[in-house]
């Protein structure tokens, strides 16, 4: 099977690139840096991919460029005839024996997995009951609810084509940050493929594993936090409904959810 590991990274992010080189070298995992699309290239790539994300006011330029970087890699894998791609962002840490999954693809045979999330936000998530056994005492289960983040995932050709079809069906008002579309809204798409979660996950970002460290601050996270901060306040009834939903999740929801651990 032909596949590649791509790490999305700005050409100017020398510290992050050094971190990634060290992290992957520890386990002799081959990878390629993908030079992330920058805000001044947004219009160019919207034309290339026939997308209108450049016209929405809902996202920052950093979020739009990030969105297009992921789309570029999906199209690239199809054009290059790859069977699978593993995509990473440049602030990730890899778990124990990550090379088992990222250097050898034989474990994917006969699993039926086209779309796999390899990272975790260290949150409890609702998962399907069907368990696929994988090497290194790990498993995969389909996500039954959202699990955000695009710092580690795998796509087959079928998975990439499905996502491209979905993304190209969006209108200007439909655009959201790429992780919300990939690992939340896409699940409600009529042709959506199951999204499997690797358990325990083998990828996690610095701000998840080491929240006080902050050696690799994220421009995208900062712009998203700022946008959320400035978001109009919800009407009181809607706010109360949301708070009640959170209380239910924390008290009763935990019985039907599984903590997606990192190892």
Burial of residue 101, with CB atoms counted within 10 A of its CB: 0-12 exposed, 13-18 middle, 19 or more buried: buried
User: For the segment 12-28, what is each residue's pLDDT rounded down to a tens digit?
Assistant: 999 999 999 999 999 99
The conformation of residue 170, written as its DSSP 8-state character, comes to -
User: For the segment 60-87, what is each residue's pLDDT rounded down to a tens digit?
Assistant: 999 999 999 999 999 999 999 999 999 9
Angle between helices 61-79 and 157-168 (to 10 degrees): 140
pTM for the whole structure: 0.89
Q: How crowded is residue 195: how many other Cβ atoms within 10 Å of its Cβ?
A: 22
State the pLDDT at residue 203. Answer: 99
Using the predicted structure, report yes or no on whether residue 199 has a pLDDT greater than 90.
yes
User: For the segment 43-58, what is each residue's pLDDT rounded down to a tens digit?
Assistant: 999 999 999 999 999 9
Which CATH number applies to 3-259?
3.90.550
End-to-end CA distance of the chain: 26
* CA nearest neighbour of 162 among 127, 195, 126: 195
State the pLDDT at residue 216. Answer: 86
User: For the segment 101-144, what is each residue's pLDDT rounded down to a tens digit?
Assistant: 999 999 999 999 999 999 999 999 999 999 999 999 999 999 99
Indicate the domain borders of the chain.
3-259
């Amino acid at each position: 099977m032909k596949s590649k590991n791509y790490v999305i990274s700005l050409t100017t992010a020398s510290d992050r690139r050094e971190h990634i080189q060290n992290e992957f070298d520890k386990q002799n995992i081959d990878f390629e840096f993908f030079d992330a699309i920058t805000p001044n290239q947004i219009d160019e790539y919207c034309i290339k991919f026939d997308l209108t994300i450049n016209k929405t006011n809902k996202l920052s330029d950093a979020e739009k460029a990030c969105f297009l970087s992921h789309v570029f890699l999906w199209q690239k894998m199809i054009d290059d005839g790859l069977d699978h791609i593993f995509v990473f962002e440049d602030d990730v840490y890899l778990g124990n024996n990550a090379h088992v999954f990222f250097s050898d693809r034989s474990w994917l045979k006969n699993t039926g997995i086209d779309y796999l999330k390899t990272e975790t936000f260290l949150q409890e998530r609702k998962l399907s009951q069907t368990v696929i056994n994988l090497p290194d005492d790990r498993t995969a289960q389909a996500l039954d609810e959202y699990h955000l983040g695009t710092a580690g995932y795998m796509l087959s050709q079928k998975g990439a084509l499905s996502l491209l079809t979905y993304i190209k069906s969006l209108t200007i008002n439909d655009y959201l940050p790429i992780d919300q579309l990939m690992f939340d809204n896409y699940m409600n798409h009529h042709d959506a493929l199951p999204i499997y979660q690797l358990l325990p996950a083998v990828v996690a970002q610095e701000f998840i594993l080491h929240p006080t460290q902050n050696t690799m601050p994220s421009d995208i996270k900062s712009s998203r936090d700022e946008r959320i901060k400035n978001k109009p306040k919800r009407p009181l009834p809607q706010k109360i409904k949301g708070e009640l939903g959170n209380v239910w999740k924390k008290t009763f929801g935990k019985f039907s959810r599984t903590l997606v651990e990192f190892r």
